């Protein structure tokens, strides 16, 4: 019995130490920027204050166009901020980076990963996935969604480490609305596809989709559009704090999907 109690105490200690060693961020007044701290070496009041510091920091970096209240960048930031502050007590590193993307002059754009081997659906590191999610969030801040106020960002990753991002944009004729995933595909195709190279080489290895609330699974139209280029691609679905991440291969989201090979298999050559 004593051994069991001792084991429980050790496990509890390990869990507590792990929680206490989490990295959070606080605002450094002298540097006028945020810095990473460990929760165990700073008091809770300072961690709580970091939320207010972040709001002031981002609000102070908006330009005049971004400050327009209705359906604007500021409006989007305010709603994301409220959602995350209620969800997460302390401000951590990834949440900070995601929320900073709302201000154009604090954005970090990822368009090409440095020094990476040929990427596949199975060799993506956590760092690569995080950069893809951050770029999807950056694109999300450009979403044109005056009717639904449903902002979605997406980022496509190719084998050579290039990232192409896109956002949803709505239309008064609702049927003309374009999803973030297809917006990103259009950017990728119009930037470097030659002939049918993207489809033949399965160039797209992953796509990240970010929206408030998480679980941003691509709609049926987007699944079909993505399936054209690589049924094996990794689909990363993330909440706006980079958590509650769901990862699926595209063929899992579109089982028995219809792609180019179906057309090839249906061809019949008649001899004259």
* Closest residue by Cα to residue 137 from 111, 92, 98: 98
| DSSP tag of 270 | P
Give the whole-angstrom CA distance, residue 251 versus residue 21: 38
Average pLDDT across the chain, whole number: 88
Residue 182 is predicted with a pLDDT of 97
Q: What is the pTM of this model?
A: 0.87
Give the whole-angstrom CA distance, residue 8 versus residue 14: 10
**253 CB-near residues (< 8 Å, 6+ apart):** 217, 218, 223, 235
Give the whole-angstrom CA distance, residue 88 versus residue 20: 15
User: What is the band of 267 on the pLDDT scale with cuts at 50, 70, 90?
Assistant: confident
Gyration radius of the chain's alpha carbons: 22
Residue 204 is predicted with a pLDDT of 95
Give the whole-angstrom CA distance, residue 208 versus residue 201: 20
Pairing of strands 234-238, 204-211: parallel
**Has residue 11 got a pLDDT over 70?**
no
**58 CB-near residues (< 8 Å, 6+ apart):** 77, 81, 99, 100, 102, 103, 106
Active site residue 181: yes
Give the whole-angstrom CA distance, residue 264 versus residue 267: 6
Average pLDDT rounded to a whole number, residues 178-192:
95
Three-class SS state of 3: helix
Backbone phi, then psi, for 34, in 5-degree steps? Answer: -90, 150
Helix, strand and coil percent figures for the chain, each rounded to 5: 45, 15, 40
217-249 pLDDT per residue, tens: 999 999 999 999 999 999 999 999 998 899 999
User: What is the band of 198 on the pLDDT scale with cuts at 50, 70, 90?
Assistant: confident
User: What is the band of 141 on the pLDDT scale with cuts at 50, 70, 90?
Assistant: very high
**Has residue 192 got a pLDDT over 90?**
no
Average pLDDT rounded to a whole number, residues 121-148:
95
Catalytic residue among 181, 247, 252, 264: 181
Contact at 8 Å (CB) between 103 and 62? yes
Give the whole-angstrom CA distance, residue 191 versus residue 183: 12
Average pLDDT rounded to a whole number, residues 157-168:
96
45-92 pLDDT per residue, tens: 888 899 999 999 999 999 888 887 666 788 999 999 999 999 988 899
CATH number for the domain running over 109-255: 3.40.140.10
Looking up tokens 């510091």 gives: 53
Hey, which bits of the chain come out as E strands?
A: 23-28, 33-38, 152-158, 163-167, 204-211, 234-238, 246-249
User: What is the band of 22 on the pLDDT scale with cuts at 50, 70, 90?
Assistant: confident
* Closest residue by Cα to residue 156 from 193, 176, 177, 186: 186
Contact at 8 Å (CB) between 216 and 157? no
Torsional class of 214: left (φ above 0), alpha (ψ -120 to 50), beta (otherwise): left
Which tokens go with 105?
Answer: 């002059």
Q: Where are the domains of the chain?
A: 16-105, 109-255
Of residues 186 and 69, more confidently modeled: 186
Residue 80 is predicted with a pLDDT of 96
């Amino acid at each position: 019995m004593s051994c069991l109690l001792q084991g429980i105490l050790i496990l509890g200690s390990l869990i507590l130490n792990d929680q206490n060693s989490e990295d959070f961020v606080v605002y450094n007044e002298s540097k006028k920027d945020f810095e990473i701290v460990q929760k165990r070496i700073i008091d809770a009041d300072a961690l709580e204050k970091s939320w207010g510091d972040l709001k002031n920091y981002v609000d102070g970096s908006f330009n005049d166009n971004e400050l327009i209240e209705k359906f604007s960048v500021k409006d989007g930031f305010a709603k994301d901020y409220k959602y995350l502050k209620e969800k997460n007590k302390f401000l951590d590193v990834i949440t900070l980076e995601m929320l900073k993307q709302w201000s154009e002059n604090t954005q970090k754009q990822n368009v090409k990963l440095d020094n990476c081997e040929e990427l596949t659906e199975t060799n993506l590191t956590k760092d690569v996935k995080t950069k893809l999610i951050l770029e999807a969030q950056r694109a999300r801040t450009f979403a044109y969604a005056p009717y639904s106020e449903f902002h979605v960002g997406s980022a496509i990753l190719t084998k050579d480490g290039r990232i192409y991002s896109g956002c949803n944009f709505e239309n008064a004729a609702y049927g003309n609305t374009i999803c973030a995933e297809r917006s990103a595909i259009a950017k990728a195709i119009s930037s470097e596809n030659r002939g049918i190279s993207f489809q033949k080489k399965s160039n797209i290895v992953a796509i990240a989709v970010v929206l408030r609330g998480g679980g941003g699974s691509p709609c049926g139209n987007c699944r079909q559009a993505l399936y054209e280029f690589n049924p094996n691609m990794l689909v990363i679905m993330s909440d706006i704090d980079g958590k509650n991440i769901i990862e699926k291969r595209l063929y899992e989201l579109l089982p028995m999907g219809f792609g180019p090979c179906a057309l090839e298999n249906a061809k019949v050559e008649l001899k004259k």
